[in-house]
Amino acid sequence: QWQLVESGGGLVQPGGSLRLSCVASGFTLDFYAIGWFRQAPGKEREGVSCISTSDSKTYSADSVKGRFTISRDNAKNTVYLQMNSLKPEDTAVYYCATLNPLLLFRRCQPGDFSSWGQGTQVTVSS
């Protein structure tokens, strides 16, 4: 069964850190570019950070550059999002997703990604 499962979310104080994990099952993650996205209440889903199959290309939103790092461990069929210096505006449900296999990896936009996990809540608050 094709599945992506996110974990690692939670409540953290401003300035804190979290590491999100996205574990793939039912398929090999090696062959897919994958991204992290988030959606806050009342807002559209937005791209946070995406990574190509070979790690040679990554994209990150300006709002998270220097704070968030995406990485992948193909041996574990897992992609991570290390989030440091968290801010209240980072509060959202975070999703991972694989790139539509019919598309080239050119950008980190939700519309280019076709298979999604169920999401994990991240809340940054004092």
Instruction: Give the whole-angstrom CA distance, residue 2 versus residue 43.
Output: 28
For 98-124, the pLDDT digits (tens) are 999 999 999 999 999 999 999 999 999
What was the pLDDT predicted at 1? 83
CA distance 74 to 31: 9
Residue 97 pLDDT level (bands cut at 50, 70, 90): very high
Q: What is the pLDDT of residue 35?
A: 97
Sign, CA torsion 107/108/111/114:
positive
Encoding tokens for residue 85?
């210096």
pLDDT, tens digit (0-9, with 9 covering 90-100), for 20-79 = 999 999 999 888 999 999 999 999 999 999 999 877 799 999 999 999 999 999 899 999
For 75-95, the pLDDT digits (tens) are 999 999 999 999 999 999 999
